[in-house]
Amino acid sequence: MWLKLAWTAWTLLWASAYGLYHGAENFLWFCDLANFAIAAGLWIESPLLLSWQAVSVLLVQVLYLVDVVVRFLLGFYPIGATKFMFDEGIPLEIRLLSLCLHLVTPPVLVWGLARLGYDRRALPLQVATAAAVLAVSYFGGPDRNINWSWGPLFRAQEVVPPALYVAVAVIGYTILLYLPTHLFFSRVWPRRAPSPAPGP
């Protein structure tokens, strides 16, 4: 119960600050959407909701933390996806909220999967969600480049037509992010189907 209440309070605080600073369309980011889905998953103790978000964001958030830590300690970005975290033009409290979001989410998801098991339906659900969310994110334009729907690492690409890139991104995210996470948790914490009730 304490985790359910704490995550709900955190989500309300984070959403209020983010909404005021970034605007409502910022909630289209996969990591932002995960906050709300995790809250629901914790309250109803749903292995599918937590598995779905693990497939969606867990690997991304680990890479985010690697990028921030290496930049902070060694002075360079191994990936280059978190330059905004060191942009003094962005209020410190907003950057700290982003850091907390990516720092806290992975252990909560891992704890949930260890307790409830991994639901294999998460992979097709996330692939379908990614296709829909990337298509919507595309209409935010190249300046916002939400979910990198116009190009990787916040830069719009010019190799293929923009609409085609959305399809390429869905395939790329699936192969590089979703499938490895799915295979890992399918082996580590597979969710067992409930045993049938004994007959009369």
Using one digit for the tens of pLDDT, what is the confidence trace for 156-191? 898 999 889 999 999 999 999 999 999 999 998 887
For 22, 30, 46, the CA distances from 91, given in Å and listed in that order, are 11, 22, 35
Among 154, 4, 167, CA closest to 87: 154
State how far the Cα of 145 lies from the Cα of 199, in Å rounded to an integer.
56
Quick check: is 195 in a domain?
no
Tell me, yes or no, whether 44 lies in a domain: yes
Structure confidence at residue 192 (pLDDT): 59
CA dist., res. 98 & res. 12, Å (int): 14
In tens, the pLDDT along 96-106 reads 999 998 999 99
pTM: 0.88
For residue 108, the enclosing domain spans: 8-188
Q: What is the pLDDT of residue 189?
A: 87
> Is residue 18 one of the residues assigned to a domain?
yes
Q: Does 197 map to a domain?
A: no
Is residue 96 assigned to a domain? yes
Average per-residue pLDDT in the chain? 91
Each as own residue / partner, the long-range contacts of residues 169-173 (CB below 8 Å, 24 or more positions apart, any chain) are: 169/130, 169/134, 170/127, 170/130, 170/131, 170/134, 173/130
Q: Average pLDDT for residues 41-66, to the nearest whole number?
A: 95
Extract the tokens encoding 118.
């991994």
Decide if pLDDT at 198 tops 80: no
Q: Is residue 200 part of a domain?
A: no
Predicted pLDDT of residue 197: 47
Is 199 a domain residue? no
Instruction: Tell me if 1 is assigned to some domain.
Output: no
Q: In sequence order, what E strands does 41-151 have?
A: none
* pLDDT (average), residues 72-83: 91
Domain count of the chain?
Answer: 1
pLDDT at res. 107: 94
At residue 57, the pLDDT reads: 96
